[in-house]
Structure 1
Amino acid sequence: MAEIRIRKTDERIAGEANVRAFLERQNVLYEHWDASKLPMELRNKFSLTDEDKSKILSTFETEINDLAGRRGYRTWDIIALSESTPNLDELLKKFEQVHTHTEDEVRAITAGRGIFIIKGDDETGYFDVELEAGDVISVPESQPHFFTLMENRQIVAVRLFIEPAGWVAQPFDDPAFV
């Protein structure tokens, strides 16, 4: 289950209802899917074949179609990151810079753990959303954020897009980032 850490105060927010309410106030969509639906052989597999990716997408087909229908997403894929990912550290450096997009950034975590660092309202400032299997998040377009891995450095997620080409990061230079 997702957990939030507010960077200014180090306050932590836990529990699905509390996390959902906090994120709703920050205009961030949060949902939770049943990760136990995923076949056992894929729950801790972070180097995926095309067949594995297809199995994950078909396992969550109902949830993906529901979310896409409600939010206008037209295409989706799987991203898998782990120590076996070529040039992982270089790839993470690209992710680990505050940026915005012209559409929502959506991730449905199916395995592993990751963290979104998001700029909230003026009172809140930046906060971390620690995600694990089953957590679904949509950071709104134009909201400054970035994504990285947590200490285990392993994640598999469904990504959903409005534009078939996917999103492009626009750097966001923010001296307030802490």
Structure 2
Amino acid sequence: MSSLSVYHVSSPELPNKVLTHFEDIAATLAEQGIRFERWPATTRLQPGASQEEVISAYQQEIDRLMTDLGYAGVEVLSLAPDHPQKDQQRAGFLAEQRQAGDEIRLFVAGRGLLSLHIDDYVYALLCERHDLLALPAGTAHWFDMGEQPQLVAIRLFKTPQSPVANLTGDAIASQFPPLED
């Protein structure tokens, strides 16, 4: 079940609130300009599925999002606990960063913890299968897939290639709870 924990940056050990109802999560994120929806994950895929398998299984949804919203690039994050580079992959997402363009993430299997740093708050969103999240350009965030990742997520970008992450240099991500396996 998806959940949203909202923290003040001064108290990373204790959230101000924890939301578990979809409508509450969506409304709270919408106040911050973040779109959160439920999308049908029509095909069952196992974490570790190849990019080609995932894109083929979700081509209709990808095409719809790309056409309706003007996205041009797609990539897949698909990791299972036995992935030989899981630690390096995880480390690459744990630092706070900003993307130059808008981004969509569609979770089709497993889960991950996407933390958004907006003003004086951190919104830690536990994303699971069926969750679609649209991040506006410049949103400070980090992502944790856990020590034993089980995840398949599709990322869409406005540019044909995945944009380079711009690290903020802020160590805030290390202060907040990681994804518990």
Match of 2:43 in 1: 38
Which residue in 2 is equivalent to 1:73? 71
Q: Percent identity?
A: 26
What per-residue deviation string (whole Å, max 9, x for no partner) do you get for residues 99-144 of structure 1? 111012321000000110111233xx11200000000112221111
What is the total number of aligned residue pairs between the two structures?
Answer: 168
Mapping for residues 151-166 of structure 1, pairs under 5 Å: 153-166=149-162
CA shift, 1:49, in A, is 3.8
Name the residue aligned to 2:7.
7
Bigger mean CA offset, 46-55 vs 107-116? 46-55
Superposition deviation, residue 72 in structure 1: 1.7
The answer to whether the Cα contact below 8 Å between 2:86 and 2:149 also exists between their aligned partners in 1 is: no
The residue identity in structure 2 corresponding to 1:137 is L
1:86 aligns with one of 81, 84, 107: 84
One-letter code aligned to 2:2: A
Whole-Å Cα distance in 2 between the matches of residues 161 and 126 of structure 1? 23
Q: Residue in 2 aligned with 1:129?
A: 125
| Structure 2 counterpart of 1:6, one-letter code | V
Unaligned runs of 5+ in 1: none
Structure 2 residue aligned with 1:174: 170
- The answer to whether the Cα contact below 8 Å between 1:106 and 1:159 also exists between their aligned partners in 2 is yes
Partner of 2:11: none
Poorly superposed stretches of 4+, deviation over 3 Å: 175-178
TM-score (norm 2): 0.83
Distance 1:54 1:20 in 2: 26
* Deviation for aligned residue 1:53: 2.2
RMSD: 2.0
TM (norm. structure 1) is: 0.84
How far residue 170 of structure 1 moved from its aligned partner, in angstroms, is: 0.6
